[in-house]
Amino acid sequence: MQKLLTLLQVNDSMFPIGSFTHSYGLESYVDARIVHDNSSAAEYARTMLEHSIYYNDAAFLYKTLTLPPGKKGWDKLVELDTLVTALKASYEIRDASKKLAIRFLKLTTELKSYPTCKKYAAAIQQEELHGHYAIAFGLHVKAAGISLEDALSAFYYNTLNGIITNCAKTVPISQTAGQKILYDLQPVIAKLVRQQPGMDEQQLGLCCIGQEIKCMQHEKLRTRIYIS
């Protein structure tokens, strides 16, 4: 029970790490009228899950959850942090990942201190590593003894919930429509979680070019309500 409650707490959309300040390119899609109603919001959410999150942050989380113990695991983590930094082409997205990682590690350390999490936080603060939220989240839930399937499922769900919340604010769509999208995409999340271990290693960080362009365009939007 405690593991479940821990996962629910640290993965909650209200967990105060600032995730609500980021739209990850959605604001640019709305500005361009590409995402403009319930149907386009649902299509955008599904596309993000299947063609961006699966190959990027969820894959980075999976890599973190399957790191070996000890020094070998730390060396692999350093390599992963460097690789993720290189794969996040948009400055806003790299910066968002770092800010969320720092806030997540600072807060969770107050709840329960784990050596690897403290070491990762220190390396970020000392600018030895860049820092990424998917890695930080993975280190904490792995140390807390949460299963890989539960961690991935929760991560996908919270990511989708963030997308829907942003759609409700910016498109806008109704809360009812948003909840229907969340419900309808549950089978997609289940499918992606099942497929994650079998993802081709060469596809790690596969670029969702439309989103990356919109993230870069967001830096130049005349009016913005999100940091990214």
Q: What percent of the chain has pLDDT over 70?
A: 96
Residue 224 falls within a domain, yes or no?
no
Question: What pLDDT, on the 0 to 100 scale, is given for residue 3?
Answer: 94
**Is the model's pLDDT at 228 over the cut of 70?**
no
- Work out how many domains the chain is built from and give that number: 1
Residue 132 falls within a domain, yes or no?
yes
Residue 223 falls within a domain, yes or no?
no
Residue 203 falls within a domain, yes or no?
yes
Q: Worst-scoring range by mean pLDDT, 69-73, 76-80, 185-189, 209-213?
A: 209-213
Residue 226 falls within a domain, yes or no?
no
- Domain containing 155: what range? 2-218
Q: Which are the contacts of 179, defined by CB distance < 8 A and separation ≥ 6?
A: 164
Residue 119 falls within a domain, yes or no?
yes
Residue 228 falls within a domain, yes or no?
no
Domain containing residue 142: CATH number: 1.10.4190.10
Q: How confident is the model at residue 89 (pLDDT cuts 50, 70, 90)?
A: confident
Residue 123 falls within a domain, yes or no?
yes
**Is the model's pLDDT at 42 over the cut of 90?**
yes
